[in-house]
């Protein structure tokens, strides 16, 4: 039962391109969705929200530090202010807005760019990079497989070279097995049911 499980996902026989790609893409999308789904404010105590906000506001006099980590007086007073605003019942975004409007740094007081417009770029580009990257990888693999199919045809057309290729493949399989993790020269020599690691070197 348990050992069948992966095949419900991957497919029983044909390990074709599509299920794998779909699986990978959907996993990644699921991860992204959950990650951006984020934590709801109501679930947190005021103190937890305060610390969340501390790590989202930059300390204006420090180099690249949030007020969470800074001992500077201005960071201390900002922390007090955050707590005060939370006690007044303000939401996280209202509090951030408060600091953006009041501080001379403007938007730079936020530890991560927010809002629409140009700042959206900061968040969209990572998606393109990631999915573009995975897309290129999958396309590359597909192209490499195509060229493989062509060269196989070519080899089949040439006389004698097919057997050469065959020998070479056998030899390589042997080498793979032996340089791999297996103590057993060939899979066939392993006893029935012996869990031998060279299973993975099998082709």
CB of 138 to another protein, least distance (A): 8
**Taking CB under 8 A as the rule, does residue 130 contact another protein?**
yes
In the region spanning residues 66 to 95, those forming contacts with another protein, defined by CB under 8 A, are 66, 68-71, 86-87
CB of 57 to another protein, least distance (A): 9
Query: CB atoms < 10 A from the CB of 176, how many?
Result: 15
- Cβ contacts of 29-32, under 8 Å, gap ≥ 24: 32/127
In the region spanning residues 161 to 200, those forming contacts with another protein, defined by CB under 8 A, are 174-176, 178-185, 194-197, 199-200
CB of 160 to another protein, least distance (A): 19
Among 20, 25, 74, 155, binds another protein (CB under 8 A): 20
Number of residues that bind another protein (CB under 8 A): 93
Task: Scan for tokens 């042997």, then name that residue.
Answer: 174
Closest to 107 (Cα-Cα) out of 37, 56, 169: 56
Distance, in Å, from the CA atom of 111 to the CA atom of 101, rounded to the nearest integer, reads 15
């Amino acid at each position: 039962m348990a050992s069948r499980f992966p095949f419900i996902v991957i497919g029983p026989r044909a390990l074709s391109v599509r299920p794998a790609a779909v699986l990978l893409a959907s996993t990644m999308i699921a991860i992204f969705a959950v990650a951006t789904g984020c934590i709801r404010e109501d679930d947190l105590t005021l103190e937890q929200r305060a610390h969340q906000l501390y790590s989202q506001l930059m300390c204006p006099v420090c180099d690249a530090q949030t007020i969470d980590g800074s001992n500077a007086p201005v960071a201390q007073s900002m922390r007090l202010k955050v707590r005060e605003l939370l006690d007044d019942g303000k939401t996280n975004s209202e509090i951030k807005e408060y600091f953006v409007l009041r501080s001379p740094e403007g938007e730079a007081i936020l530890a991560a760019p927010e809002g629409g417009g140009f700042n959206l770029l900061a968040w969209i580009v990572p998606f393109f990079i990631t999915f573009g990257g995975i897309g290129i990888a999958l396309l590359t693999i597909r192209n490499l497989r195509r060229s493989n199919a062509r060269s196989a045809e070519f080899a089949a057309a040439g006389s004698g070279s097919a057997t050469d290729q065959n020998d070479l493949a056998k030899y390589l399989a042997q080498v793979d097995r032996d340089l791999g993790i297996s103590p057993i020269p060939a899979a066939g020599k392993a006893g029935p049911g012996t869990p031998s690691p060279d299973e993975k070197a099998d082709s």
